[in-house]
Amino acid sequence: MAKKKKQDELPEILEEKIIEQTICDTLETNYMPYAMSVIVSRAIPEIDGFKPSHRKLLYTMYKMGLISGARTKSSNVVGQTMKLNPHGDGAIYETMVRLARANEALLVPFVDSKGNFGKQYSRDMAYAAPRYTEVKLETVCAEVFRDIDKNTVDFIDNYDNTTKEPVLLPVAFPNILVNPNTGIAVGMASNICSFNLREVCAGTAAYLKDENADVFEYIKAPDFPTGGTIIYNKETLEEIMSTGRGSFKVRAKYSYDKENSCIEITEIPYSTTIEAIRDKVIDCVKTGKTKEIADIRDETDLKGLKITIDVRKNTNIDMLMAKLFKMTPLEDSFGCNFNVLINSRPVVLGVKDIIAQWSNFRIECVKRGLEYDIKEKSDKLHLLQGLEKILLDIDRAIAIIRTTEAEADVVPNLMKGFDIDKVQAEFVAEIKLRNLNKEYILKRTAEIQKLIDEIDEMKRVLSSDREVKKTIIKQLEEIAKKYGEDRLTDLIGDDEIETVTEDDTIEDYRVKMFFTRENYLKKITLVSLRAASEHKLKDGDEIIEVEEASNKDDILLFTDKGGVYKYRIYDIPDCKASSYGEYLPNLLGMEADERIIYMTTTSKYEGYMIFAFENGKVAKVEMSGYATKTNRRKLTSAYCIKSPLAGIFYIESDSDVTLISKGGRALICSTALIAAKAKRDTQGIQVYLSKRDGKLEKVFPAYLSGFENTHEYVSTRIPSSGQKMKDTDIGFKQISFFDE
């Protein structure tokens, strides 16, 4: 009966313990504290560039004296760090691995490592256990802990109140920008790319000198420890650096070993791994997207990263790599989210805003350090000033001490006898008997004036933000000089990158290119041209150039602004004679006031471009000067623009050219007399000497002149002023260098 009664009472007891609560109250009471802990105390870095796990580890190593001396076992450091970080030895060691130089995850590593620490760019290259590896702090950590013992930052109790740890580290350079940082919190994340130390220090120094300075002049673009090449788009990167959000593309670096017929990849994007690239390339081969690849191997060793791709004979390497960039992580995007904790609040900031926040933080650190030094030196000065008074009568001081009966009266008697305070008297009373000599006291009191000068100087600096900033600037310059290195990540303009399709073959056939005065371009197959050859043109337009070429050739389109657009002919759509063709300003993305003035096609970039100028100079530029390793769409400085053009045309080999002046003089000479130049924007050499007959007006191949008296205008020496044109040849003066 008793047991049954007890069971009957059970539901009543449970009912009393059930408390109704809305879901919002449950989240606020139970979930929000956890979420805030993850955001503030785990995943998001603070203005010193560290997360709590990084800070606890490095501070432990600093207190262990590992900033100098020999390395110690990683296990020893991990164990000591657990006094500050109770999250387990595995998490602590992973943090150490990322900070180590051998892991290659940071531009400026903080841990000097010995042993296998794995590699950031490999998911399969595991790091060794902590009992097998050794560590100490890198020398740059002297800048991380600069003046930390001078009350430059706040300290708090550790988790069990047995010791103290710093809230932030007084890092003397903007580490928040120098090293990459990634973290996923609750409802938010942070992904900060790294920038070159020299550039960041220079940009920060410029900001400290003038808050309106353009820091982007110094900090060009991100820089990654794994190198690679950033596809540079000025607008995109400026937006990222201004707002702290956005993405940009990074691609691998490669070279082609012609002897062994293989591609060697030596640098990859920071956000990918060797294994991810290898797996994706193998997948492309299996699906038939890349038939040119015979094998792929990971040949990474102690010398560094290396992925080797064996290719079949007659493979177009540039085309293959363009496809691999498109289909594999050899080209990858880095998404930026510059989320930083400022006064324990997560804020997304641009580069300049981060520099501003770091500058405020660093100014406060330096001021606190100065205040600490002033107090220390003032206390020392106070003691020495008391000692100086003893110098007036050492014997009297000894007599006072000897004649004082009670030990407790020694200090009061010294205070009364020499008019000094208790602190000074205590200092004097504690001096050893052997030091109560004039020499010792003179040496000590000699420091007084030096201390006074040092204190006055520190007070002067402390009272002026400008002087404090000068101190920080000097430190930044020293750090950049001592620890700065050249950029690892190259930049390439997005206009230099040719967009390619995934088609692995390009049909080769003969075409004719027609260029009109109104900047229309027609690409017509010979078959189509035979079927219908009557051209459709806009009113007032006319064809001024015709070139026969292969669909795989390149076309060079020279502008009146001194540039040249390069285009693969197969990228230009075929058309019929009955259409207008492609309008070049739209096709090339030309500037509003830019026009195409000459067209030529080439496949091997052999021969010469001839540029004649109104000032009588003629330049012969090797076509090889327009060949580029990358598929750049536009080349600047294609020819000299210091003097207006009088003529422009292509020649396969040296031949005669005709020059005609505005005053009616003609000159025919061989281009063999003109030295070829590899520099595209060369001014050329003087060929025509202008007297009273004005500037050059027309220059074109001699076979187009049609003069009856050709031999009369020929000169075998240059420069020359030519001959006055005969009446029978005047009509040919009107020929244009566009005409054929």
Question: DSSP 3-state assignment of 44?
Answer: coil
Measure the CA–CA gap between 188 and 191, rounded to whole angstroms: 10
Strand, coil or helix: what is 479?
helix
As beta bridge partners, residue 296 has 309
**Angle, CA 721 vertex, CA 716 and CA 726 arms, to 5°:** 95
**406 Rama class: left (phi>0) / alpha (psi -120 to 50) / beta:** beta
> How many CB atoms are closer than 10 A to CB 577?
18
Residue 482, helix vs strand vs coil: helix
Class of residue 497 by CB neighbours under 10 A (exposed 0-12, middle 13-18, buried 19+)? buried
Instruction: Say which DSSP state 605 is in.
Output: -
Q: How far apart are the first and last CA of the chain?
A: 121
Tokens 């020496």 correspond to what residue?
717
Amino acid at 657: V
* DSSP codes of every residue in 291-312: TTEEEEEE--BTTB--EEEEE-
For 390, which DSSP code?
H
**What are φ and ψ of residue 156, in 5° steps?**
-130, 165
Contacts of 75 (CB under 8 A, 6+ apart): 130, 131
Q: Catalytic site residue 132? A: yes
Cβ pair 54, 95 in contact under 8 A: yes
> Which amino acid is residue 244, in one-letter code?
G
Which one of 31, 34, 132, 703 is the catalytic residue? 132
CA-nearest of 460, 465, 563, 554 to 513 is: 554
Q: Which residues contact 261 (CB under 8 A, 6 or more apart)?
A: 310, 311, 312, 313, 315
* CA angle (154, 158, 161) in 5-degree steps: 110
Element (H, E) at 7: helix 2-17
Looking at this protein, which amino acid is placed at residue 256?
Y
Residues taking part in catalysis: 132
